[in-house]
Structure 1
């Protein structure tokens, strides 16, 4: 194996995946500081310049990183342990967030009497819809009635795509398709499919675009993992893809090229020596908690201080989100990971890898 491949970089004792995920989660909170107060997604940073907000670019990076790491997990664990690991990583956090928002935040901020709030079907329907379909535009009775957005858990919609990508990867593994050739073919098919859809429908809806975008990013991350021992860790492919995206802006291939650049860039950055340092590795993985709780905290701050400018609300939003994410890590996510580790050890040493 060449000394400068992605695989060799991955084999180092430390990498930048945790630090990068933390930065991406924080970027989502920064981005939403603007749209939460105005109700206009185009007010978010980068939205007008690139067609996607800073938060959307961060989500793109999340999905590429997830594809890389989850493909590694499936390859190392096998199907049954992979399902256990993914379940214990995703579900405890979102269940806790849903219950906290519904049964603590909702009663605290609703304009209804608490008894009336709890007797409404809305809170219980909200719990059901969030946990079964990851519905993100549902509201709670009397909560945030004057906010531009009424939804208290506006970011959970991406978890639906995350879970679908997990399932797709699992199916590929069971069918023996978790190999370099099929992975590259899937990335090419998704990229060309998105470009063709843009060509045939210049006004392609955001929902239709998302159904190409997130699987393409996840598949690209997975393909980069599968090709890790063949790909040299070089910056020039990132520069070439970024330049191509800039030149293609306004044309059908633009978005596909941009997403490929972001997928390569995220993995390249996470495996760069500059981030592969123990001092940069967070002691706690707060990224999931920040992603889940940033939106409801920002919604709450705007409801309490509706006249405050985005930049004034951002520092307290970041501070409160960090504190709640730390509590989520200590009380929910870390215990779930310990349970996962015990379950995998019980299945044997090979299952406990990674």
Structure 2
């Protein structure tokens, strides 16, 4: 595969795919946030296994694994790599955290006075550790009272940035067959014990996350990394992509194999689409304004606020309005927060992105 086809934003469709995945998360959440009934969700009704939102998050982590592995290999130093990762995740997250806590919270019936003293310090610590904001009394009458329930994936994303750095320092990324073996081991554990739960000490879980989430999401991330590391060996062909798509759909009927199937066969389809599918008018989405991260971060609070204000809103109207408002907020986040901080690296605008989604370069 041509190197420029891998790294150049104008030559791949990662921007379009990230925005699509963020919108699919909103679509998936729209019926369930209304009354807690997931059974109306489209993909759940079709296959009875995973939701569109889970499929989208899996896609985010596949893309992230690809681009973050590339970012490690193209960074001149470990410090440069880490600076890129911090500047991409933290500024947008911190602003979204504060808006969710201090603006959305009171509008949702939350009590800002409850943040005085130690509770406020705990929220500050949660923000620095990329946790979800919490405010007493907010959204208490809704099926999902979280201020920003989508934020839970961000800390896993950042953990995998650090894991990639560790694997790079240990030389595992340079030895792609060792990386392949590690990924296969993760996949075997994931398939054999899909809901593995181990009681970890609080401090350990704070660093590593919940075991079953860590294994599942890191396996997806590493699969994306494999598509990058073996990019010179992978033949992308439309007929193979069609076969992989059919195989993915068949595996979606299996609760145990649905997401591992998405990681392998769905991953092939995803990267074929990104690099080889025929360009169209939608392919240029996200080329100039990377709104996908902000779109993802602001959708949940916007949706819950709309539900709190209009209890009888339909899922489709909720989806349409919340997508439009979250897109505006995502654009503002990019223009006013994310891009200015990315320019601190002294390299101008950064144009590749990750799974939550945040930029890879």
Task: Answer whether TM exceeds 0.5 for this pair.
Answer: yes
The alpha carbon displacement at 1:237 in A equals 4.2
The alpha carbon displacement at 1:293 in A equals 0.3
Matching of residues 13-32 of structure 1 within 5 Å: 14-32=11-29
What are the superposed Cα offsets for residues 153-199 of structure 1, whole Å, 9 maximum, x if unpaired?
10111112111211111111111111321222222222222222259
Quick one: which of 146, 159, 164 aligns to 2:141? 146
Is 1:188 aligned with 2:184?
yes
Report if the CA contact (8 A) 1:7-1:228 is conserved. Answer: no
For structure 2, the 5+ residue unaligned runs are 198-209, 350-359
What are the superposed Cα offsets for residues 207-248 of structure 1, whole Å, 9 maximum, x if unpaired?
654333211111011111111122122234444444444445
The alpha carbon displacement at 1:104 in A equals 1.9
Is 1:167 aligned with 2:167?
no
The alpha carbon displacement at 1:100 in A equals 1.1
Report if the CA contact (8 A) 2:31-2:315 is conserved. Answer: yes
Match of 1:224 in 2: 227
Q: Is the radius of gyration larger for structure 1 or structure 2? A: 1
For structure 1, the 5+ residue unaligned runs are 202-206, 345-352
Report if the CA contact (8 A) 2:66-2:228 is conserved. Answer: yes
Quick one: which of 208, 211, 215 aligns to 2:214? 211
Report if the CA contact (8 A) 2:196-2:211 is conserved. Answer: no
Q: Specify whether residues 234 and 321 from structure 1 end up closer, same or farther in structure 2 by C-alpha distance, changes over 3 A only.
A: same
Quick one: which of 58, 63, 77 aligns to 1:65? 63
Decide which moves more: 83-92 or 143-152. Answer: 143-152
Task: State the Cα RMSD in Å.
Answer: 2.9
Report if the CA contact (8 A) 1:139-1:150 is conserved. Answer: no
What are the superposed Cα offsets for residues 111-141 of structure 1, whole Å, 9 maximum, x if unpaired?
65x6x45548655533432432x434x6412
Aligned partners of 2:283 and 2:223: how far apart in 1?
A: 29
Aligned partners of 1:85 and 1:162: how far apart in 2?
A: 14
Report if the CA contact (8 A) 2:69-2:225 is conserved. Answer: yes
Match of 1:289 in 2: 294
Matching of residues 246-257 of structure 1 within 5 Å: 246-248=249-251, 249-250=253-254, 252-257=256-261
Aligned partners of 1:232 and 1:35: how far apart in 2?
A: 39
The alpha carbon displacement at 1:67 in A equals 0.7
Match of 1:86 in 2: 85
Report if the CA contact (8 A) 2:195-2:212 is conserved. Answer: no
TM-score between both structures, scaled by the size of structure 1: 0.84
Is 1:99 aligned with 2:60?
no
Aligned partners of 1:30 and 1:315: how far apart in 2?
A: 9
Match of 1:349 in 2: none
Aligned partners of 1:335 and 1:252: how far apart in 2?
A: 43
Match of 2:205 in 1: none
